[in-house]
């Protein structure tokens, strides 16, 4: 079956530090890949996505590249802010059930001033 | 104007009780979902409806019964609540077609004592 594995948190950083959150997946065929973000007390919202190999998704300074050869979709941001403190979820969607997302376990990120 | 709204936001109840959580979306989407997020932030899909028709029903106890009176509403009724039902329940909606972008509500935190 489909699965998503992401690094466990919490990840604690200082402002302006570089952030990487690793995500790898297992799926048959060619899934679409997503990063969702959950700010404290809120629901999840889509951060970025990539639908085919070598695509790069980007938004709000975050980037992730769909790497089919390593089945990975690592999230990066060059300079984090306190407002980036949140839980980040990697997810995949596959095939006819394209909106049936399989989520990773989430990674909590805490950015300190 | 909230796109996906859930009520109540907080619900504290005793074991054995029956409770409902309501969800409404004003995005004009055809597809709605219920997800359960446990204390470790792990998210798992429970149900999905497309235009009032059940399309995804994961291995959820039959104490959980979704109801979709129209495509803008998807309610979740839970009978005979158990301690393990304590979680945050998220409603979400999306367009059909499988691009994987879900719009989440803010969640309903259920605590069973």
The C-alpha angle B67, A106, A38, rounded to 5 degrees, equals 65
List Cβ neighbours of A43 (8 Å cut-off, separation of 6 or more).
Answer: B4, B90, B92, B104, B105, B106, B107
Specify the pLDDT at position B27: 93
pLDDT band at A95 (very low <50, low <70, confident <90, very high): low
Closest Cα in chain A to B50:
A99
Per-residue pLDDT tens digits for B3-37: 999 999 999 999 999 999 999 999 999 899 999 99
Mean of the per-residue pLDDT values of chain A: 92
Q: Work out the average pLDDT over A80-88.
A: 96
Q: Work out the average pLDDT over A52-76.
A: 96
Q: Work out the average pLDDT over A13-23.
A: 97
Residue with tokens 């990674």: A107
Across the interface, do B98 and A42 touch by the CB < 8 Å criterion? no
Closest Cα in chain B to A102:
B44
């Amino acid at each position: 079956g489909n699965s998503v594995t992401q690094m466990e948190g919490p990840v604690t950083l200082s402002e302006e530090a570089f952030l990487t959150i690793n995500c790898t997946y297992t799926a048959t065929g060619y899934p679409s890949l997503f990063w969702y973000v959950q700010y404290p007390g809120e629901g999840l919202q889509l951060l970025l996505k990539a639908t085919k190999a070598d695509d790069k998704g980007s938004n709000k300074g975050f980037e992730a590249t769909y790497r089919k050869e390593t089945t990975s979709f690592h999230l990066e941001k060059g300079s984090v802010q306190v407002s980036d403190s949140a839980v980040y979820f990697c997810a995949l969607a596959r095939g006819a059930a394209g909106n049936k997302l399989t989520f990773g376990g989430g990674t909590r990120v805490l950015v300190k001033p | 104007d909230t796109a996906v709204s859930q009520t109540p936001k907080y619900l504290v109840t005793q074991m054995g009780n029956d409770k409902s959580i309501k969800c409404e979306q004003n995005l004009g989407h055809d597809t709605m979902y219920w997800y359960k997020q446990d204390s470790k932030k792990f998210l798992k899909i429970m149900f999905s409806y497309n235009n009032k028709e059940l399309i995804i029903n994961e291995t959820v106890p039959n104490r959980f019964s979704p109801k979709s009176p129209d495509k803008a509403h998807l309610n979740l009724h839970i009978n005979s609540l158990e301690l393990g039902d304590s979680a945050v329940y998220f409603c979400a909606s999306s367009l059909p077609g499988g691009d994987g972008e879900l719009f989440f509500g803010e969640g309903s935190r259920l605590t069973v004592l």
